[in-house]
Structure 1
């Protein structure tokens, strides 16, 4: 299991018409591929106790979607057990979904619409570092960031990592991913900065900032704890949002 996601959970984001657990199909495919090249689909299917019609396309070069997704994620180092450049970039993209992005419920394609130039740079760099590149779409002066390739696979992985899908509401966004607790200090600070930069309301007459939206207290509590921990300054929360003290904002380099 990697620091952010694992292949079993990614496989289970796919559906299979005749198998309840899609990861079973992944294991069946791998077992079938271990047979000699001259083994027949009938022989393999009989020994694995699976339908021959499932095996035959595999021997002709077809792959289950879940297998293809796992292979791509593995090649890009997304399942690493360490906090590598790739897994840290995945973490930033996952946090970015909370802060200024979304993942389609159908199709799992993620997008980000950062309002600040710094936030845009952070997310573009993260997309490059996970190995998918960036596609930028502009509409009515709004710059929307999309993965250049493998968007659906990346979106599924971000969902497994804890990012919400569909509309973000008080019932779909209730806390932050657990892996944040064990993330490196610099990564935690980067993510806290991204949240404050993209979500917080700035005031003209003071450095204090405020985050408020349709979220439950559990979410505000988790986010306030993150910002307070990385800044070592006062951050308070209530049922209506988070107040980030001027000292905390300065500690993040945002004032």
Structure 2
């Protein structure tokens, strides 16, 4: 299988607002054009740059005079500096990011207003596994405080977590308000090894042994029937006997055991 590019700079840019731009990637490209022009003409004024590139002077001036960097550009720079862009299966960061998508799909969400990834933690083992995973990307977690004593503990990610969250949405990690979510489509472009690792994390996080039927049940009342069916299809392509139920999915014990999931 070819090493497909899974997330590109334009994809990440388009998770931002472009303000005056219909396509935020055009904003990033105009900023780059300005940098290239001033690199060739270091003494050019904002007015001269704007006229030469057919851009509004009011847009160019903050970039040159104040050192302002458009949000899509800053996000791309952060992702590139951390080795997240462009993202392919051979990228060093792909393994942890693949597992993070599984965490968000199975135990969490991306907050659409901030793009922060949040996951539910039910035990010390959960916390250790998630913190170790985040640490592989050179990041740290922080606990999300809530006044609701009936809710499980949630962890999010500190510095650059919002940029990572945007990248995860490019890989189909669901947001709070996403009613159209399906199982991540990038999985069709990666190896079976990567698909099985996604499935392993998913089952480890969500599946409960159902003794009555000798199967593992993934309770997913929080996802649509469309999502549950797409997830079952993924498991079936990996050899599982997967069934869709009213509020969940079940898989056979043999498939779970192959992934290291046991009672």
Q: Same fold, TM exceeding 0.5?
A: yes
CA distances 1:121-156 after superposition (whole Å, capped 9, x unpaired)? 443233223333222457659442211211221211
Looking at structure 2, the residues matched to 117 and 206 of structure 1 have their Cα atoms a distance apart, in angstroms, of 29
1:227 counterpart = 2:235: yes
- 1:157 matched to 2:167? The reply is yes
Structure 1 equivalent of residue 59 of structure 2: 54
Q: Counterparts of 1:1-255 in structure 2 under 5 Å? A: 3-34=5-36, 35=38, 36-60=41-65, 61-83=67-89, 84-115=91-122, 119-137=126-144, 142-167=152-177, 171-173=179-181, 175-203=182-210, 207-214=214-221, 215-230=223-238, 232-255=239-262
CA RMSD, Structure 1 to Structure 2 (Å): 2.5
- Normalised to the residue count of structure 2, the TM-score between the two structures is 0.84
Instruction: Return closer, same or farther for 1:2/1:12 CA change in 2, 3 Å cut-off.
Output: farther
- Distance in 1 between the 2:258 and 2:248 partners? 20
Structure 2 CA distance, aligned partners of 1:16 and 1:233? Answer: 43
Q: State the distance in 2 between where 1:156 and 1:138 align.
A: 22
Gaps of 5+ in 2: none
> Which TM-score applies when normalising by structure 1?
0.86
In 2, Cα distance between equivalents of 1:22 and 1:118? 40
- Quote the Cα distance in structure 2 between the aligned partners of 1:114 and 1:184: 29
> 2 CA distance for matches of 1:239 and 1:147?
33
**Which consecutive unaligned segments of at least 5 residues does structure 1 have?**
none
Please list every run of at least 4 consecutive aligned residues from structure 1 whose deviation after the TM superposition is greater than 6 angstroms.
none
For the 8 Å contact 2:8–2:87, the answer to whether it is kept is: no
Measured after TM superposition, the shift of residue 192 of structure 1 is 0.6
Give the Cα–Cα distance (whole angstroms) in 1 for the partners of residues 134 and 24 of structure 2.
Answer: 27
Query: Hey, what's the Cα distance between the residues in 2 that align with 1:226 and 1:15?
Result: 33
Using the TM superposition, give the Cα deviation of residue 69 of structure 1 relative to its aligned residue in structure 2, in angstroms. 0.3
Secondary structure of 2:118's aligned partner: strand
SS in 1 for 2:63: helix
Conserved in 2, the CA contact under 8 Å of 1:45 and 1:55?
yes
Separation of aligned partners in 2, 1:3 and 1:76? 16
